[in-house]
Structure 1
Amino acid sequence: MIDIDLEGIEPIQRVIGKAPNEVRKVASRAINRAITSARTEAARGVRGTYRIKHGDVLKTIKIVKSSPGTLHADLTSRDSPIQLIKFSVSKNKRGLRAGVKKGASKPIKSGFIINDARGGTNAFVRLTPNRVPTKGLYGPSVPQMIGNEQIIDKVTDRTSEMLMKRMEHEASRVLGG
């Protein structure tokens, strides 16, 4: 979860020299643009590291935008582990080969793929030499992927950069220049 709080807007208020309401509007717009940028950067970071579709990442992310009254925005990702078949899985003679992260794939001995009656598909592995029991295979959830340190650092840097850039832009817009 990524939070953006804006405290200490008095210097901006002095520069604009207008009513506090205008300053709060400027800050709220800047925060909203920064949190939207954080969502995009999180999805890009996950796509750069993991083999997952952009849309699968975006559908798990929820944004609560800022308003002039709150000056606070939240970015939250909620999801359960993703079926391994959503990543890169291929069949070979010995079973399956699966890759969750880009540039790395591992063999899954005695793995197989099933198309079930409901139209779903997933990779499974046998737990014993017999036909049953079997176990479905899953990769990490999107929140776990976003929680990767490198991705968090990228998102944080991009968000703070965008917040400062948008604060300047919105302030100059209010000033009429």
Structure 2
Amino acid sequence: MLDLSVHADVKGITASMAKYVGEQQKAVIRALNKTATQARTAASVEVRGAGYNIKASAIKKSFVIKRASRGNLVVVLTATGARIPLINYGARQTKSGVSFSVKNGRKTMRHAFIATMKSGHIGVFERTGKGHKKVVRNGKTVRTGLPIKELLGPSIPQSLANEAVEKALMAKIRSVFPKILEHELAFIASKR
């Protein structure tokens, strides 16, 4: 799990709005919440820009936003999720194995294969046992290639922990928050 938090000094921006204490707090709350939403979108852009071949919708869905309120002027943006099955990284069956693209170009996993399970789940698998086992099915002895395990790529929180992604995301948050706050304060002032 990955938590991102941003601390900003809002006193300088809000000094001219001191007479609107109640409204000012509403503006800060709205600015924090809008910044969190924009940070989620920016995270999707940065992860994909760093070369991770993950769908933007999957990245956005992995985030949980704990929104700011009157009693808590903090927004927590949390990315959660398990490792992503390798089939979601553009996996293709080749003669020598399975080709996929997690980051920085395509790679081939030798001896891997793409299979559809009885449940309908499609994945990239590899055999974990040595050789084929003899199993009795319906009174007949057959050879099976089991056991197999599904191959997984990095999770979304792991891709967000990439140093370049983290720096770019924090820079985006720091630049966007003051602009959104100024806009919210100007909106309040225009209503007076």
TM-score (norm. length: structure 2): 0.84
Matched with 1:53 is 55
Which has the larger Rg?
2
Matched with 1:175 is 189
Structure 1 residue 55: Cα displacement: 1.4
**Matching residue within 157, 160, 163 for 1:143:** 157
Structure 1 residue 16: Cα displacement: 0.8
Unaligned 5+ residue runs, structure 2? 133-144
TM-score (norm. length: structure 1): 0.90
The number of aligned residues is 175
Among all aligned residue pairs of Structure 1 and Structure 2, give the percentage whose two residues are the same amino acid: 30
| 1:4-63 deviation per Cα after TM superposition (whole angstroms, max 9, x unaligned) | 345x54434431132322221111111111111110001111222211111111111111
Q: Quickly say closer, same or farther: Cα 1:138–1:17, change in 2 above 3 A.
A: same
Unaligned 5+ residue runs, structure 1? none
Which SS does the other structure have where 1:176 is aligned?
Answer: helix
| 1:46-86 deviation per Cα after TM superposition (whole angstroms, max 9, x unaligned) | 22221111111111111111123311101001101111001
Q: Distance in 1 between matches of 2:67 and 2:86?
A: 33
Matched with 1:30 is 31
Contact 1:12 1:23 in 2 (8 A): no
Q: Which amino acid aligns with 1:171?
A: L
| 1:69-115 deviation per Cα after TM superposition (whole angstroms, max 9, x unaligned) | 311101001101111001111111111112111x4121111111110
RMSD across aligned C-alpha pairs, in angstroms?
Answer: 1.8
| 1:125-170 deviation per Cα after TM superposition (whole angstroms, max 9, x unaligned) | 1233432332210001111111111111111111111101111111
Q: Quickly say closer, same or farther: Cα 1:4–1:61, change in 2 above 3 A.
A: same
Which SS does the other structure have where 1:139 is aligned?
Answer: coil
